[in-house]
Amino acid sequence: MGVALARKTATVWAAMMNIEKIKELLKQVKYPGFSRDIVSFGLVKSVEADGADVNVKIEVATKDAKVPEEIFKDVHEVLGKVEGIGAIKVDIAVKDAPETVSGAVGKSSIPGVKRIIAVASGKGGVGKSTVASNIAVALSARGLKVGLCDCDLYGPSVAQMFGTTERPNANENDEIIPIEAHGLKLMSMGFLLEDKSPVIVRGPMATRYTQQFLRQVAWGELDVLVLDLPPGTGDIQLTIVQTVAVDGAVIVTTPQEVALIDARKAVAMFAKVNVPILGLIENMSWFEADDGKRYYLFGEEGGAREAEDMNVPLLAQIPIDVPTGKGGDAGKPVALMDPKENKVSAVFHKMVADLEI
């Protein structure tokens, strides 16, 4: 290419180049190990175009040195394919893992567990445990080894939802052996208490119990461990996300504004500790009558609008469904049903397939 032509090409490139087009290109760069891209994960902090030159600033929180290396390489590969682009500068800031509440350093993984997904909500009563249970079941249906840890000490529900009152035992290493039901490994305070026994513990003891559930349970080899977090943004939630390497979070809400307010707080909490938001799930979106008419009992499209405002994916809209409620009470999560026979089961299986965990 001659000098004049090269200059002309650079001029054309500079004229057409803008920040949004660069970001569109960067959506081709996937976060290592995920199907989601670095833009939707919120890792791209700034993009600047100076003529034909491009400067991209990225921020990641990881202990795996291969993650920023792979992102660096992929960004150069994607932008380098565009004819006429000039110098490509990629600055990747690797943030240190935040300190825990007690001052201990850093996040760490759970031995044998490949990925940890947290299911959270800012407000109680939005169906978070139902969503967490069915996500775990749908993941297992894809042939993955899945565990589900009920981190809600004060209102545990996993034992009820999976229909077991079995008490866990300990192995030779004094580790708790998780309960197995429907092909999943489960841990919950509900397995340790009688039905009417309340958990009366203060914050420090509650966080200690939570750490035991995560690190003193013989989870074995798992592809995914789903954490059913308690509602809110208190000590237990902060302890988990500050000490355990959570790969992504799913936020559950209803369409009501009162629930959406608290969902924003949950998103903000994960953002502060650099946990990627996989997306938002709008639960109880509508009730569908026998004639097919939908009744929006808690407002319409509130979760969809909130997901758009927060720039996170809307993973699913889950309607109010009688079999879903009955299945949870009977210990048979609705995702165990054939997706062809139940619409809510189909929603969960499609959502998990789209996440490509």
Q: How confident is the model at residue 292 (pLDDT cuts 50, 70, 90)?
A: confident
- Kindly give, in sequence order, each residue whose CB lies less than 8 Å from that of residue 53, ignoring residues fewer than 6 positions away: 86, 87, 88, 89
Q: Using alpha carbons, select from 22, 256, 282 the residue that is nearest to residue 128.
A: 282
The beta-strand segments (E) located in the chain are 44-50, 53-60, 88-94, 113-120, 146-150, 179-181, 184-187, 222-228, 248-253, 277-288, 294-295, 314-320
Cα(164)–Cα(184) distance, integer angstroms? 12
pLDDT tens by residue, 20-66: 788 888 999 988 766 678 887 778 888 888 877 888 999 887 767 78
Query: Can you name the residues that pair with 54 across neighbouring β-strands?
Result: 49, 88
* Inter-residue contact 57 to 46 (CB < 8 Å): yes
Give the CA dihedral 97, 28, 70, 268, nearest 10 degrees.
0
Lowest mean pLDDT among 50-64, 115-129, 289-303, 304-318: 50-64
Domains defined along the chain, listed by start: 3-94 (3.30.300.130), 113-355 (3.40.50.300)
pLDDT reported for residue 94: 83
86-95, 184-193, 199-208, 219-228: which has the highest mean pLDDT?
Answer: 219-228
Lowest mean pLDDT among 35-39, 87-91, 150-154: 35-39
Instruction: Compute the average pLDDT of residues 139-160.
Output: 92
Q: How confident is the model at residue 4 (pLDDT cuts 50, 70, 90)?
A: low
| 254-265 CB burial, b ≥16 within 10 A, e <16 | bbbeebbebbee
pLDDT reported for residue 225: 96
Cα(228)–Cα(266) distance, integer angstroms? 14
pLDDT of 7 higher than 70: no
pLDDT reported for residue 282: 94
pTM above 0.75, yes or no: no
